[in-house]
Chain A
Amino acid sequence: MARMAFAVGWPLAEGQPQLPLVFVSRHGETPRTFSILSELAAKQPLSPTQFSLSVHNAVIGLWSILRGSTCEMTALAAAGDGFEQGVLEAAALLAEGAPAVLLIVTEEQPPQVYGPWIDDVPFAYALGLLLTPGKQWQLAPATTAEPSRHGALPHGLSWLKAMLTGCDSFTHTWMRRTWNWHRQL
């Protein structure tokens, strides 16, 4: 997971030593967690490395160490609409005066045993976005009466697809939270 996050984030952060980072992952390091739990079940001693890398803010910790960056960093785990929650967090940092914010959304392919519970990770992925203040897009939250889920792809990837195909507006729904994206003309 750290590798994926770094692969997408590093080129975007080039030349910006103090770039705030919002890291989003719903499920985190499930392969590491599962490995630790398996060792625990077998009454084996636990790997300190696995443990230190399994916590949710491990990736931003590594990012901070390797880049020598001490600026603001956040690690979020926010249900199925973590992408929008991350954008919101980044927008708040921009509103506070940050010239740019790096947003990384990533999920690891979970071990098979989690299959019955994790059904929103079609494949391991990482999405990196360098966000700057502007008025090109508007994101508005709304509430829907009936809980539902929209689309086959995770929101971040669905958003990317919409961007690449030139969509001007689209909607993502997670449970009762709806996010309306509009390109400002």
Chain B
Amino acid sequence: MSAPQQDLNRDLKQLIIDALGLEDISVQDIDDEQTLFGEGLGLDSVDALELGLAIQKRYGIKIDADAKDTRNHFSNVATLAAFVTARQAA
């Protein structure tokens, strides 16, 4: 993985922690491929909206909550990073 990719992954993990107030975990506790919602990190639907909002604000991109592939983009940190990268390039 390239250095910018690693940076983005780390920034996204920090964003998840900050936006959702996850006080008991740190960036090291979240794996790139760890499932974010339901099982895995155990986030819920309100967390999803909050995280979507934080990502839109931070990266200046638009997320369509109703789009079919949005769910896939939010699977884990790696998919989120790919999504943010693609949207920023667009």
Is B a genuine binding partner of A?
A: yes
A residues contacting B by CB (< 8 A) are: 45, 47-49, 52
Main secondary structure, interface of A, reads helix
Q: Which residues of B contact A45 (CB under 8 A)?
A: 53, 56-57
Taking the complex as formed, is B49 at the interface, i.e. its CB lies under 8 A from any CB of chain A? yes
Tell me the smallest distance from the CB of B69 to a CB of chain A, in Å: 21
B residues contacting A by CB (< 8 A) are: 20-21, 46-47, 49-50, 53, 56-57
Looking across the interface, which residue of chain B has its beta carbon closest to that of A48? B49
Tell me the smallest distance from the CB of A45 to a CB of chain B, in Å: 6
Sample of 13 further A-B pairs with CB below 8 A, known A49-B46, A49-B50: A45-B53, A45-B56, A45-B57, A47-B50, A47-B53, A48-B46, A48-B49, A48-B50, A48-B53, A49-B20, A49-B21, A49-B47, A52-B46
How far apart sit A48 and B51, CA to CA, in the bound complex (Å)? 10
Tell me the smallest distance from the CB of B58 to a CB of chain A, in Å: 13
Tell me the smallest distance from the CB of A50 to a CB of chain B, in Å: 9
How far apart sit A158 and B49, CA to CA, in the bound complex (Å)? 42
